A and B are shown apart, each in its own frame.
Chain A
């Protein structure tokens, strides 16, 4: 088994429990699901599902870059949405943010793990990408 290493990026919202931002093994990066939190203060951004997803993708991008990867090297992503997924909004953002379309699984969940706050975490996404 090749060496595996956990990455905590300075540019993603800091992990709040026992997990890194990502794990690198071989030439693959497995990234922890990201929510729409500001990386500096950890607060959820405004703008509902779209605002949160846009920010979450930016967090993924920052983490991927710190792992020697990037959004255009994402193989697969999993998108979890609270409430009925607004697929048109998700597609519009994917079109803008992912230069190379990845394989994708989207589904609605009952709730997402998040600290209590005045705004609800509406969406999170993780990914698997090629590094190096």
Chain B
């Protein structure tokens, strides 16, 4: 694997461990699960589920841009969230942020996410 295929940027929360923000291979970029942490402070954003999910998507978008991709080139997204009550908000925000042609999507309830995160999203997207 080529080093230049590993992507880690400073516009998304820095990886806390031995992983990268994304890896490119064969015309696709695979992005690490993103949560609602502010890129500068590393802290969770205030404002509950909606703020966290929007921030997580912002982080995903910043990583995709750095990889030469974008939200409208996402092929598949996976969303984990911990509280079933947030389902409607998840769908609404997702619908605001992702546009036609929409990606394939898998979403489900997780028992736990890192340090009490309410939601996490990762994706695979096309790159040039």
Contact = CB atoms under 8 A, between A and B. Distances in A.
Interface in B12-37: 15-23, 25-26, 30-33
A128 B76 CA distance: 15
A103 B30 contact: yes
Contacts, number: 80
A104 B19 contact: yes
Interface stretch (B40-48, B95-103, B107-115): B107-115
B110 A100 contact: no
Contact of A98 (B18, B78, B122): B18
B26 A106 contact: no
- The secondary-structure label for the interface of chain A is mixed
A73 B17 contact: no
A75 B17 contact: no
Interface stretch (A38-46, A50-58, A60-68, A87-95): A87-95
Interface of B: 1, 6, 15-23, 25-26, 30-33, 78, 80, 110-115, 120, 122
Interface of A: 26-28, 72-73, 75-76, 81-85, 87, 90-91, 94-95, 98, 100-110, 128, 130
